[in-house]
Structure 1
Amino acid sequence: MASAIVEEKDEPPEEKEPPEAKMGQVADAPPCAWPPAVAERYERLEKLGQGMFGDVYKARDRRRSGQLVAVKRLSGRTDDRFVHTGPLDFARQAMSLAACRGYPHVVRLVATYADASSRGDGDSFVVTKYAGPMNLRKYMMERRAQSQPFLEGEVRRAMRQLLSGAKHVHKAGIVHRDLVPENVIVDQRRRSAKMVYKIGGFGMSESAAAREGRGDDSALLASFGPYRAPEAFLGSRDYDGRVDTWALGCIMAELLVGDGKPFFYAELESEVFVKMQRVVGTKGITEWPGLQRLVGTRERELAQAAVRREQASGGYTSCLGKLFPAEKLSEAGFEVLSGLLEANPERRLTAAAALRKPWFRRQSRFFGGCCVVP
């Protein structure tokens, strides 16, 4: 039997999407059956995508005048497609979304359901307001296929929204730990045609309090390599929201390059770390005080950390400026990019600090003069 754990109060009906808007549909195996409590309330529409923990469908809320939602099923069992999601993983994701509720650049939690299977392997469900038809990865691929590179102004608007979302997530005491293009939802406003970006995919998120109590960061260490911060590569457990701003710096660089690949893409994890050092330099890593504190980590990771520390002493000098010359990115834009891709986490920009940079200020003229509007 499924029961709702969290549900928001009724809201005004959301504008219904026209039938022809089918972007982001993913063809796959026949959908798994939803438990009665979910199936009776939500009319399943097209599939939006799937990750390692389950699949996501667009649906209509029958109780709220057809409001569009996204229903994410978290698999209660391990099979050929999905990794098992236990009650603690489900609760962590639901609590993270609840803590971030109400901010425009984070997907909005509507309800959660747990299917109480007699075998103890029931699925769980996270329902959020429908945020858009595709993720940022698909949007970048479509732009590339249409030979439409991202202009600096577009990148600035995207990064302003993503950093604003990350700022709110961190203010709520949550570290996302998996900010990759697949976990950014993209939609287009019908009236202004401007793109809207929202952070989703909180499957690896965790509060600082929970992490301190559990002391297990295996999820972070297993996160997708090309977006993993240097301190995570080195096996450090001494990290904060700046692992997220590093990932956003990777996304910013990826938008600017526009070749369809992660900025630090490589076939092997070890190659990702080496490529990262060659681009941003090794000075930030070697000067990071936390490097000495890694001696206290578990033996299993000590050897790996030692090898990577030795790699870090190779003395690479940053070539980020050569990859993003003035004709590709303005000086103000480069200040943000280099601040996000700072290898020393203690000097890396937080989301709040990045948003205060001049790149995010717009010029406004009135009374014959000019003022800067943050």
Structure 2
Amino acid sequence: MPFLSGNLGFERFSIEGFDSTEFTDEHIEQLTKNAAGNVETASEENVHVGFLGGAHLFDQEFDLGKNVINDAVHVGVRIDTNQIPSAIRKAWLEIELLGYAKDSPSGVPSKSQRKDAKEAVEQRCAVEAASGKYRKMQSFPMLWDCRQDLLYFGGTAGKASGYCIDLLERVFEIELRHMSAGTIAKNWATASDKVAEMDDCMHANFVDSCVFNSLIWDNEHSQLPDFLGNEFLLWLWWKLENGTDALTLADDSEVTVMMTKTLSLECPLGENGKETISAEFPTSLAEATEAIRSGKIPRKTGLTLIREGRQFDLVLQAETFGISGAKIHLDEEEDFDVNDRIDAIRTLSETVDLMFHVFCECRVSERWNEDHEGIRDWLTSQHKAKQRVAA
């Protein structure tokens, strides 16, 4: 499983309502009782979600010594579905209708025959689903950090994570909340007594040619300021381009930062499309400069972070703060076991959040006006420099 070896990719969820400070045999019993495969998925489009022991797709064995590592629980979740593909359903219906059409004097199935054809297809779907022919299994690793009340879900936030969260909430009677950029910002504001200032934050515009009050990808059903994740990446880019490659964090530690490997940008109005740049240092390329000068803002970027002697390479998604392709660098012959790896994951998670906290502190303070103007001037100066070169 990726949390114990190899590169990492995860979304994070805060956990509330878990009364115990550690995992016990009682919790292991709950995992076992709700293991994947205990309930057969036979009916059409039925979904069954269950826990995995973490070793493989059919692992139903759970044990404190096996699954609890350094105050964190390492398990998996398997989603079993029986869903007849829509293309196959459509083909079966066409076959049924063709049979009725051949026997019809007009060559066209009647209304009642169309109804019969649909019923025949539904019956066939039920039989095929019961056979298990179209059964699909997907597994996702999870790391439940009891020390930090965080769940690391080894996938992206979406339908699959929703199934997994529902299972955890039902079995352990807890509440989970996705840790997006907006959630992290709100939590920081609450802890820093800056709630009113954070609530006053509106979308910032950086170039006169692209003025907006919302982003085309904003979640209209959410009041969270996830747009701060996009602003954070642009602010960080500006910081790195103007003489600093390090940030001092709230705990007085320092993180060295580089934007590397990949950069995705998009027009906030949806008018000028998207752009993805792959290079060792993508922000140094002319097309990256031209993209932000035209009003595009970052949605995803590769980062190299060095903090407390540990280097991480990762890709950070701006709005969700999802992490993918994360690599923990090790020194030659370093003694590094699974306990150390769990600690390294904690350090990575904490470092990303603390970097964002530095931006949040700036964003709700008077200093933001200065930094905002600085970014605007930086983009304008780039534009003027390009015009001089073109002339």
> TM-score, normalized by length of structure 2?
0.24
Name whichever structure is richer in strand by fraction: 2
Larger Rg: 2
**Which of structures 1 and 2 has the larger relative contact order (alpha carbons within 8 angstroms, sep 6+)?**
2
